[in-house]
A and B are shown apart, each in its own frame.
Chain A
Amino acid sequence: MLRRAGHSLGSRLCQRQGQLEPAVQGLKPSFAVAEEAVEGARDASTLLVKQRMKSVANIGKITKAMKMVAASKMRSAQVNTMNSRGIAEPLLKLLGDLPDAQGKKNVYVPITSDKGLCGGINTTVCKYTRASIKAEDGEDKEHSIVVLGEKGRSQLQRDLRASIHSTVADTGKVRVTFAQAAAIADGINTTEFDVARLIFNRFHSAISYKPTIATSLEKEAEAGGLLDQYEIEGPDRAELLQNLSEFNLASTLYNALMENNCSEQASRMAAMESSTKNAEEMLGKLTLTYNRTRQATITTELIEIISGATALAG
């Protein structure tokens, strides 16, 4: 395009000159060759900037699309998350929240995402997991980790590979369901834990997600004397309490999965928003550079043509 513009400019000028000075017309062929040679050298820098502009514009489009997808997913996830809080609350009120609980076998369940580009939420969960493990470490205490999500696995396996019991991936691929949460809770039960700690991001708003630690105990009866005030139906009290604690784990896990999913979408939306803004900023700067370079080459060309013409005329 530049070449063509230069050509047409040069040829127009030449033609005008030619009307006044027939002698100039003879110069056209050699002039054109010289012009092309000089243009080829000039194009290199503008071409590079052009390519970079194209790629940055593409990145901006992609991140904008990802932001819109995340925003729409977050809206529906938010409704589901608020609904999922209902089932976990009565159990929390009845059995209590006991982060101080001590046990021999501790299992930690960090809940992370499978896909990246979602801001810092996965790193946060992993940091809190590491800190909790170190905090609760002690003599004759065993720690194991059941990681939910690929991102958590790749981060934790660097230093805690030996403690990782199992990993669960693709939890939110289609939809998070209670059946899934129950199946994962079954898997966690195979570690035969005394205390289970779920670490996830609780959704507060589109810009606020707080890392939360939910504790679930194997022996719920020993936890808090509240249960003593209640009459427990049925001949098999122990079995009912066992079922209750398993149900508690499954419900808390379901709620945690929904909250983390919602936080992930919100975080991705924010991250893609800032990416798009950065891309636009970068594109603006590159456009200025490009235009400056382009205008400079045109100016140089004009000067050459005019000085050449004046030299011939004079």
Chain B
Amino acid sequence: MPRGGSPQRELQHCCLPGAECQRTEQEGRARGFKITGDPRKLGFAQCHRTPGPLHPSALPPPVPNSQEFLSKFAAFQGTMNEPEFPSNFVKPVEKVENASVPDKLKFNFYIPSAAINQGSSVDLVLLPATTGDFGVMPGHVPTVAELRPGVVSVHNELDKDVTKYFVSGGFAFIHADSTTDVCAVEAVPLSDIDSDAVRAGLAEYTGKLASLQGKGDDYELAAAQAGVEVYSALNSALGL
């Protein structure tokens, strides 16, 4: 699969209206998707699952399965209080049964040092997954995707208010209630990237990779390859 190409060429999943869905109808039905609408006209229909009574449309709150641990701990507790668990501090999500597909996507975008988006309502998010770029709209199938270095486009309003970030990698989770969580290791707005530095970096790492071919240990080779991958992605993101 070619990496570092422009997002349009790599579109494998179709969640943009008008594009062609790569999934065949059979595949879709086998996975339990309800095919709504004409696949030729509404390409994304096959990727969308209509929430039925069997599908919980909200993520169940994390239950700290801690009874056993606490009972074992009690024997050695002495004067200490019971230990806390991280799930004790997470607000439980309300379960909404049989909810229809919401208008907008609830989008959370986290990096270690900040929460770039928290609970924002957006129309569309384009994500660069390792398997190819795909877009997320309300009603998307619950998915776990690993991200590669690439551009995340956040469409607050479809094609009108777009913010683009370059991410270095991470994970994206799309939940059944159309909440999308993107956890990236690093994300910068495209406007903040210096094109000269990108060109220089790409040249440097391509040179390094070329000189290391055949020799050099695995670590150096992997580091050079990673460098080339990131810088080519940056290159294509900036349109250089």
What residues of A have a CB within 8 angstroms of the CB of B114 in the complex? Answer: 83, 86
**Which one of B70-78, B157-165, B192-200, B207-215 is at the interface?**
B70-78
CA distance A298 to B110 in the complex (A): 73
CA distance A177 to B113 in the complex (A): 9
Asked if B85 and A100 sit within 8 Å, CB to CB, the answer is no
**Which one of B14-22, B36-44, B142-150 is at the interface?**
B142-150
Asked if A87 and B112 sit within 8 Å, CB to CB, the answer is yes
**Chain B min CB distance to A107 (Å):** 16
What residues of A have a CB within 8 angstroms of the CB of B87 in the complex? Answer: 92, 96-97
CA distance A136 to B83 in the complex (A): 14
Count: A-B pairs, CB below 8 Å: 157
**Chain B min CB distance to A108 (Å):** 12
Q: Which of B50-85 contact A (CB under 8 A)?
A: 56, 59-60, 62-70, 72-73, 75-78, 80-81, 83-85
Asked if A178 and B112 sit within 8 Å, CB to CB, the answer is yes
Asked if A135 and B146 sit within 8 Å, CB to CB, the answer is no
Asked if B84 and A93 sit within 8 Å, CB to CB, the answer is no
Question: When A135-B75, A202-B89 are in contact, do A96 and B68 touch as well, CB less than 8 Å?
Answer: no
What residues of B have a CB within 8 angstroms of the CB of A177 in the complex? Answer: 112
Asked if A100 and B62 sit within 8 Å, CB to CB, the answer is no
What residues of B have a CB within 8 angstroms of the CB of A128 in the complex? Answer: 80, 83
Asked if A233 and B86 sit within 8 Å, CB to CB, the answer is no
CA distance A210 to B114 in the complex (A): 23
What residues of A have a CB within 8 angstroms of the CB of B170 in the complex? Answer: 247
User: Which of A88, A92, A211, A230 touches B144 (beta carbons < 8 Å)?
Assistant: A230
Asked if B143 and A231 sit within 8 Å, CB to CB, the answer is yes
Asked if B118 and A86 sit within 8 Å, CB to CB, the answer is yes
Q: Taking the complex as formed, is B111 at the interface, i.e. its CB lies under 8 A from any CB of chain A?
A: yes
What residues of A have a CB within 8 angstroms of the CB of B108 in the complex? Answer: 86, 90
Asked if A87 and B183 sit within 8 Å, CB to CB, the answer is yes
CA distance A83 to B185 in the complex (A): 13
What residues of B have a CB within 8 angstroms of the CB of A86 in the complex? Answer: 108, 110-111, 114-115, 118
A214: nearest chain-B partner, CB-CB: B86
Asked if A135 and B183 sit within 8 Å, CB to CB, the answer is no
**Chain B min CB distance to A280 (Å):** 31
Q: Taking the complex as formed, is B9 at the interface, i.e. its CB lies under 8 A from any CB of chain A?
A: no
User: Which of B66, B89, B145 touches A233 (beta carbons < 8 Å)?
Assistant: B145
Asked if B62 and A247 sit within 8 Å, CB to CB, the answer is no
Question: When A86-B110, A90-B110 are in contact, do A97 and B144 touch as well, CB less than 8 Å?
Answer: no
Asked if B173 and A90 sit within 8 Å, CB to CB, the answer is yes
Asked if A94 and B144 sit within 8 Å, CB to CB, the answer is yes
**Chain A min CB distance to B142 (Å):** 5
List, sorted by A's number, 18 A–B pairs whose CB atoms are closer than 8 Å: A80-B113, A83-B112, A90-B183, A92-B62, A92-B87, A93-B181, A94-B181, A96-B87, A98-B65, A100-B67, A135-B69, A211-B81, A211-B83, A213-B83, A226-B59, A230-B173, A234-B130, A234-B131
With A92-B62, A136-B69, A136-B72 already in contact, 14 other A-B pairs whose C-beta atoms are closer than 8 Å:
A84-B112, A90-B110, A90-B183, A94-B59, A96-B65, A97-B66, A99-B70, A128-B83, A178-B112, A202-B89, A214-B86, A231-B141, A233-B143, A233-B144
Q: Which residues of chain A have a CB within 8 Å of any CB of chain B?
A: 80, 83-84, 86-94, 96-101, 124, 127-128, 130-132, 134-136, 177-178, 181, 199, 202, 210-215, 226-227, 229-235, 240, 243-244, 247, 251-252, 254
Query: Which 5 pairs across A and B sit closest by C-beta, in order of nearness?
Result: A97-B87, A90-B181, A86-B115, A86-B110, A135-B72
